[in-house]
Each structure stands twice: as C-alpha cells, then as structure tokens.
C-alpha cells in the first residue's frame, strides 16, 4: 500500500499524486494521511482502487466513481459520491450537504449525521440501485426529487431523525427511517407506512453490510421501529404539471 502525506498539498497537487500512483506506479491501494479539506479526492476512480483517508476530505469526494472503495477515518464535507456510478464510500464520522447527489449506483455509509438534501436526484435502472445509510440524523429536504434508490436514516441517540420537507418531488425509490416521522415533515406526494416483509428483508441485508463496514452490532441497529416513506404513485405530481 502506498502512503501519501497530504500535509501542505493543494487539491491539485494531491490528486496529481494519486493519479500518478495509480497510472504510473500501478499501485491500487493508497493511504492518505493528514488530509485537510482537499477536494475532488477519488473522482472517477475505477473498480481496482482502494483508498483509506485519514483526516477530512473536501467537497465532491468520490464523484463519478466507478467501483472503487473509499474509507474515511474522520468527517467529510459536501457532495460525497456526487453522480457516483458504482463502488462504496464509508465515512466513520459525519458529512455535509447533498450526499449522494444524482447517484446511479454504489453505496455510501455514514456513521454520523448528514446535512441538507441527502439523496437528492438519486435514480436507479433495472436491478441496479444506489443506497445511502446515515447512522445519525439528516436535515431538511432528504430524498428531494428521488427517482430511485434507497435512503436509510437511523437517527441520533437524542431522538433527532429527519428535518422537514422529506421526499419533496420524490417519484421513485424508498426512504427507510428508524424513529418517528410526523405527516407535517413529509411532502404531499409521499406516504408514510409500516414495512412490508419485502422491505424488512431488503433493509436487513443493507444494514448487515453497513454494520460489517463500520464494526457495529446488527441487532442493535435493527432495534426500534422503522417506517417507509415512498411516493403515493408512479406519477404523484402528474396533475400538477399537466391535464389528464
């Protein structure tokens, strides 16, 4: 494994070192130390690369990623997994806004909290769908304009789960929430319901992988009551924009 010390490096210098390590040295396991806000780390990485990051990476970590694996031992900033195609990003802390923006595949696991607009514009095709699991709470507009994928929100120990305007413009995918969600917190085009057997199976499989990646007990994570938030129909806003 190649170790790169990011101390004093600009984001351009750091990303150039990463690219050279992969392209020229053919080293596909990389450890970054002393990362301090450098952005665009891991953008477009392919499925051979594994990266361990110590510190706080900046915006757009793993954007357009195509199957690589990134583990962050710290917090992350905005737009983790922006337009990600495949792979896995595990953050042993919290992250900022628009996590998983326009994700098309892969998984993002956060141990801590996330900011606004988590899972915005997520989409899926056929049997491929992206998934985000947040171990704490998220702020307003979670799942905004979701067209597919899975968003799981476990909530904080203090009982904070989601903000307001959950699922605004949502017309596909599912949001699983552990804890209480009131009708006033969700958009008009979505429903809150109990989990069906299919949902329970899907959620358990996803959380099993999440717990293995973060070293958490599955039984404890599955404890509590989960709810599902999903669109009322495949065209919940059809009459808003067109006559039928």
Token code pair at residue 224: 């509590």
The SS3 of residue 53 is strand
Q: What percent of the chain has pLDDT over 70?
A: 95
- The pLDDT tens digits for 50-77 are 999 999 999 999 999 999 999 999 999 9
**How far is it, in rounded angstroms, from Cα 17 to Cα 39?**
14
User: What global pTM score does this model have?
Assistant: 0.95
Q: How is the chain split into domains, by residue range?
A: 2-241
Could you confirm whether domain 2-241 is CATH 3.30.950.10?
A: no
Mean pLDDT throughout 7-11?
97
Which residues touch 134 (CB under 8 Å, ≥6 apart)? 99, 110, 112, 113, 114, 118, 151, 152, 153, 154
- The pLDDT tens digits for 180-224 are 999 999 998 899 999 999 999 999 999 999 999 999 999 999 998
| Angstrom distances, CA of residue 68 to CA of 35, 96, 143, 229 | 19, 21, 24, 30
Go through 163-180 and write b for each residue having 16 or more CB atoms within 10 A of its CB, e for each that does not: bebbbbbbbbbbbbbbbe
* Side-chain-side CA neighbours of residue 51 (13 Å): 32
Q: Measured in Å, how far apart are the chain's first and last C-alpha atoms?
A: 60
The least confident of 31-40, 117-126, 154-163, 199-208 is 154-163
Q: What is the pLDDT of residue 158?
A: 80
- The pLDDT tens digits for 147-177 are 999 999 999 878 889 999 999 999 999 999 9
């Amino acid at each position: 494994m190649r170790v790169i010390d990011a101390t004093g490096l600009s984001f351009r210098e750091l990303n150039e070192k990463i690219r050279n390590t992969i392209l020229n040295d053919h080293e596909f396991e990389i450890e970054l130390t002393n990362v301090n806000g450098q952005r665009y780390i891991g953008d477009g990485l392919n499925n051979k690369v594994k990266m361990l990051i110590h510190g706080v990476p900046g915006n757009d970590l793993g954007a357009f990623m195509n199957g690589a694996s990134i583990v962050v031992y710290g917090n992350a900033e905005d737009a983790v997994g922006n337009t990600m195609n495949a792979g896995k990003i595990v953050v042993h802390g919290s992250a900022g806004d628009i996590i998983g923006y326009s994700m098309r595949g892969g998984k993002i696991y956060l141990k801590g909290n996330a900011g606004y607009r988590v899972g915005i514009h997520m989409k899926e095709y056929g049997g491929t769908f992206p998934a985000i699991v947040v171990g704490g709470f998220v702020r307003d507009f979670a799942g905004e304009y979701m067209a597919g994928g899975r968003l799981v929100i476990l909530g904080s120990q203090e009982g904070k789960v989601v903000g307001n305007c959950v699922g605004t413009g949502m017309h596909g995918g599912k949001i699983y929430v552990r804890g209480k969600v009131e009708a006033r917190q969700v958009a008009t085009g979505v429903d809150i319901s109990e989990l069906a057997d299919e949902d329970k199976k899907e959620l358990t499989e996803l959380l099993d992988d999440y717990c293995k990646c973060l070293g958490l007990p599955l039984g404890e994570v599955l404890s509590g009551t989960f709810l599902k938030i999903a669109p009322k129909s495949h065209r919940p806003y059809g009459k808003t924009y067109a006559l039928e």
